[in-house]
Chains A and B, each alone.
Chain A
Amino acid sequence: MTKTGDIRQSRTNLDIRNGQVNLSHGSGGRAMAQLIASIFVKHLDNELLRQGNDQALFNVEAGRMVMSTDSHVITPLFFPGGDIGSLAIHGTVNDVVMSGAKPLYLSAGFILEEGYPLAELEKIVISMAAAAKQAGTAVITGDTKVVERGKGDGVFINTCGIGVVPAGVNISGNRAQAGDAIILSGSIGDHGVAIMSSRENLQFATTIISDSASLHNLVADMLDVTKDIHCLRDPTRGGLATSLNELAAQSAVGMVIEEQKIPIKSAVRAACEILGLDPLYVANEGKLVCICPAEHAASILTTMQQNPLGKNAAIIGKVISDDNHFVQMNTAFGGQRIVDWLAGEQLPRIC
């Protein structure tokens, strides 16, 4: 994003209201410098980004750091409850904080398609800036590339995040133990259904809002109760079912969850019924799964429920010993079944 010398002097002559991304905006010349200055630096502005180098230079704290990267290729770019800009921040912040870390800094790499309206790009960057500020982080370095029309999908964003893990915190997907409690922070499937319903041919009468949010405060609140949390995972692609299977496999354990305990909004349930989708596999962008010793479960749950992002949190099951590493579910109906890995994409039924 940088490579520009004194980038603050480049903010001239960019017609954001009517202009479009063109190949020169990725060429490394004056047009790119103008784009960076007029949109990216203007809205994401912070001291480290303003250095204008090919890298951001900052002091590191003692202790352990985490780093995570994520790419965002969502369609549509704007959806009920968010957009690709805020989603890029939330997604990476959440990946960082699922280690128990305090998020610090982010990078943002933009791949823009020739012809994309600059006004829309600015909206995305403004949204990104607000999300980063709200998460207590900053985008301190970045990059811009432009691909020819038809070679992209408007905007792709890659983000990388780093954070610092507090002393005494040891959260990892391989630490679940038989007897641990499984806590879910809120209703499932909101994001996936919001995205699907905003597509042209799947309009529902009720607007379902994405749950896209950064979970840094929620995790911090939970760690204030106890540092003895074994696993955290945000159930994004593949939904809750995928996260639980990942954790069961990593920790070589089984799980039993209770269908009746899993929060789900009626509108999301209804949409999934219509489409023949299982909400357990539908994506979330503002939820977490916590696996902790049973003796801490009640106090962690109470604290979660006092945070707006955890007000519907529930203990949904427990970890068991199981050489098969099955995730089992006691159905609301009274039977039992496996909650398996997702195979391919969840697709609507044909009859």
Chain B
Amino acid sequence: MKYIDEFREHSLAQQLANAIKQEADNNRTYRLMEFCGGHTHAIFRYGIQDLLPDNVEFIHGPGCPVCVLPMGRIDNAIELVEQHDVILCIYADLLRVPASLGKSLLKAKASGGDIRMIYSTQDALKIARDNPNREVVFFAIGFETTTPPTAVAIKQASEQGLKNFSIFCNHVLTPSAMQAILDAPEPVSIDGFLGPSHVSTIIGSQAYEIFAQHYLKPIVIAGFEPLDVMQSSLMLIRQLNTSRHQVENEYTRAVTRTGNVKAQSLMNEVFCLRDEFEWRGLGLIPKSALKLRANYAQFDAELRFQLPAIKASDVKGCECPAILRGAKRPVDCKLLGTVCTPENPMGSCMVSSEGACAAYWSYGRLRGARTNKLSA
């Protein structure tokens, strides 16, 4: 496949692996946080860790929108279905995320809730048009990557006068999460970041310059293909070896410094900042999430259905919050592989295909078996 195979080329991977081995200083470690779940997925799926020396360590970050969604928001969504009888349109990743009291959207669907898996916001609009006598709510979730399509849907709903359509907005912002990790009371030791790729196509690489300057951390915007991850790792190692802390862009085929200005404008037109928003693992972060602007408030499901703020507790023993901060690894969780498996997830990191625990369990536990210990 053109433009795919080129980024998975074995011989190039070996060349990069050799370069990393040569340039990585044996007298130090390199703790690199891969921000996105897509990076985590690539690292495990392609066995990238096998190609790198032991002193180059990946720390899994919070860049999985399903993983950072607090349980209370799933509770809200279940309430929409069970108490307000809406048609809830969701991206399928959300189906199995645990909610309070052992519930999930999957169980709500099995109990008769009208929950529909969709592939795009346009599907949700069509369902609203096809069901004029039903309230249709789109569960809007994701970082800056998925926000513009939601904005388009809102504008279209407004133009078409769709009175039975609204969104349950859970769009969050990447820079806020990065800042929360760096400002944490007990900060995790991170030498550099593999920066978000798809998000950066929208917001541009300049969004991270403040972190490089203020926190003196090198950041390399990295694509999701395995060669992207390896090349970006090499770029970070070179920055660290020369005590540089810059924002570099490895993903030049898609990301510019300024990003997609049209998409940014669209987002600004439709959304504004929330005062604060709860992130699983990171707590309440000010100015970290979006809500609909006042002139589009009629499409806000939280207002339309007066949804309460629900504070729900994670399952006892679940280390998802610490894993999302990079403070712990999947193998540090006592629930991993015992009571928490992909078939019976206790936390969101095991549910989402982007989650660190799911990636580790599905692809990576071979390394632990080899070394007679679970190590990611």
Chain A positions near chain B (C-beta within 8 angstroms): 201-202, 266, 269-270, 273, 276, 324, 326, 328, 331-338, 340-341, 343-345, 347-351
Whole-angstrom distance between the alpha carbons of A338 and B49 in the complex? 13
Rounded to whole Å, the gap between the CB of A107 and the closest CB of chain B is 31
**CB-CB contacts below 8 Å: B83-105 with A:** 91-93, 95-96
Residues of chain A with a CB closer than 8 A to B363's CB: 337-338, 340
**A334 in contact with B366 (CB, 8 Å):** no
* Nearest A-chain residue to B366, judged by Cβ: A338
Interface string of B327-342 (1 = CB under 8 A from A): 0000000000000011
Those 9 A-B pairs whose CB atoms lie nearest each other, nearest first:
A335-B47, A343-B342, A347-B92, A350-B91, A333-B46, A337-B363, A335-B50, A351-B145, A340-B362
Q: A344–B342 contact, CB under 8 A?
A: yes
Among A202, A335, A340, A343: residue with most chain B CB under 10 A:
A335
Is B79 positioned at the interface, with any CB of A under 8 Å from its CB? no
Q: Are A336 and B362 in contact (CB under 8 A)?
A: no
**Contact A351/B47 with A332-B10, A340-B362 known, Cβ cut-off 8 Å:** no
Residue of B nearest to A342 (CB): B342
The residue in A337, A340, A341, A343 that gathers the most chain B C-beta atoms within 10 A of its C-beta is A337
Whether the pair A350, B146 counts as a contact (CB closer than 8 A) is yes
> For window 122-168 of chain B, which residues contact chain A by CB distance below 8 Å?
123, 141-143, 145-146
**19 pairs, CB–CB < 8 Å, chain A vs chain B:** A201-B123, A276-B353, A324-B369, A331-B45, A333-B13, A334-B17, A334-B51, A335-B46, A337-B44, A340-B363, A343-B342, A343-B358, A343-B362, A344-B96, A348-B119, A350-B65, A350-B66, A351-B145, A351-B198
For window 359-374 of B, CB contacts with A under 8 Å fall at 361-366, 369
How far is B353's CA from A345's CA once the two chains are assembled, in angstroms? 11
Q: Which residues of B contact A343 (CB under 8 A)?
A: 341-343, 358, 362
Known: A326-B369, A337-B46. A345 touches B362 (CB 8 A): no
Residues of chain A contacted by B91 (CB below 8 angstroms): 348, 350
For the A-B complex with A201-B123, A341-B343, A351-B143 known, give 4 more contacts whose Cβ atoms are closer than 8 Å: A266-B1, A273-B4, A343-B341, A350-B91
Task: Please tell me if B326 contacts chain A, counting CB pairs below 8 Å.
Answer: no
Tell me the bound Cα distance from A337 to B359 in angstroms: 10
Q: Are A347 and B369 in contact (CB under 8 A)?
A: no
The reply to whether B119 and A333 form a contact with Cβ atoms under 8 Å apart is no
B13–A338 CB distance below 8 A: no
A66 to B295, CA, bound (A): 68
A338/B343 in contact, CB under 8 A: no
A214 CA to B49 CA in the complex, in Å? Answer: 42
- Give chain B residues whose Cβ lies under 8 Å from the Cβ of A337: 44-47, 363-364, 366
Q: Check if B248 is an interface residue, CB within 8 A of chain A.
A: no
* Cα A273 to Cα B3 with chains together (Å): 12
Contact status B123-A333, CB under 8 Å: no
Closest CB of chain B to A60's CB: distance in Å? 41
For the complex, is B307 an interface residue (Cβ under 8 Å from A)? no
From B92, B146, B199, B366, A348 is in contact (CB under 8 Å) with B92
Shortest distance between the CB of A351 and any CB in chain B (Å): 4
CA distance A326 to B368 in the complex (A): 12
A340 to B364, CA, bound (A): 10
Residues from chain B with a CB closer than 8 A to the CB of A269 are 1, 4
- Residues in A whose Cβ lies below 8 Å from that of B17: 334
Instruction: State which residues 44-76 of B face A: CB under 8 Å.
Output: 44-51, 65-66
A345 to B17, CA, bound (A): 34
**In the complex the two chains form, what is the Cα distance from A201 to B361 in whole Å?**
32
Complex: A238 Cα to B23 Cα, angstroms: 42
Look across to chain A and name the residue whose beta carbon is closest to the beta carbon of B66: A350
A300 to chain B, nearest CB (A): 28
Chain B residues with CB under 8 A of A338: 362-366
Mask for B19-57, Cβ within 8 A of A = 1, else 0? 000000000000000000010000011111111000000
Asked if B14 is at the interface (CB within 8 A of a chain A CB), the reply is yes
Closest residue to B42 on the A side, CB-wise?
A333
> Within the assembled complex, what's the spacing in Å between the Cα atoms of A348 and B95?
12
Is B281's beta carbon under 8 Å from chain A? Answer: no
Given contacts A334-B51, A335-B50, A336-B47, contact A350 B364 (CB under 8 A): no
A345 and B343 alpha carbons, distance in the complex (Å) = 10
- Chain A residue at minimum C-beta to C-beta distance from B118: A201
- Does B278 count as interface, using CB distance less than 8 angstroms? no
Interfacial chain A residues near B146, Cβ < 8 Å: 350-351
C-alpha spacing A340/B14, complex, angstroms: 26
A202 and B44 CA atoms in complex are apart in Å by 28
A110 to chain B, nearest CB (A): 26
Q: Is the CB of A333 within 8 A of B92?
A: no
Most buried by A among B1, B341, B353, B365: B353
Cβ of A121 to closest chain B Cβ, rounded Å: 27
CB neighbours (8 Å) of A270 from chain B are 1, 4
Contacts of B45 in A (CB 8 A): 331, 337
A350 touches B13 (CB 8 A): no
Q: Given the complex, which residues of A lie within 8 Å of B92, measured CB to CB?
A: 345, 347-348
Chain A residues with Cβ below 8 Å from B366 are 326, 328, 336-338
Tell me if B226 is interfacial: C-beta within 8 Å of chain A. yes
Inter-chain CA distance A344–B105, complex, in Å, is 14
CB distance from B88 to the nearest CB of A (A): 15
Answer whether A331 and B95 are a contact pair too, CB < 8 Å, given A269-B1, A343-B342: no
| Min C-beta distance of A220 to chain B, whole Å | 36
A334 touches B10 (CB 8 A): yes
B314 part of interface (Cβ distance < 8 Å): no
- Report whether A334 and B14 are in contact in the complex, using a CB–CB cutoff of 8 Å: yes
**Distance between B362 CB and nearest chain A CB, rounded to angstroms:** 5
Cβ distance B343 to chain A, nearest Cβ, rounded Å: 6
> What CA separation (Å) do A343 and B341 show in the bound complex?
9
Which residue on chain A has the smallest CB distance to residue B370?
A: A336
Residue on A nearest B353 in the bound complex, by CB? A349
B250 beta carbon closer than 8 Å to chain A = no
B6 CB, min distance to chain A CBs, angstroms:
12
Min CB–CB distance A222 → chain B (angstroms): 31
| Bound-state Cα–Cα, A341 to B365, Å | 13
**Is A334 a contact partner of B47 (Cβ separation < 8 A)?**
yes
Residue B8 CB within 8 A of the other chain: yes
Check B354 for interface membership: any CB of A closer than 8 A. Answer: yes
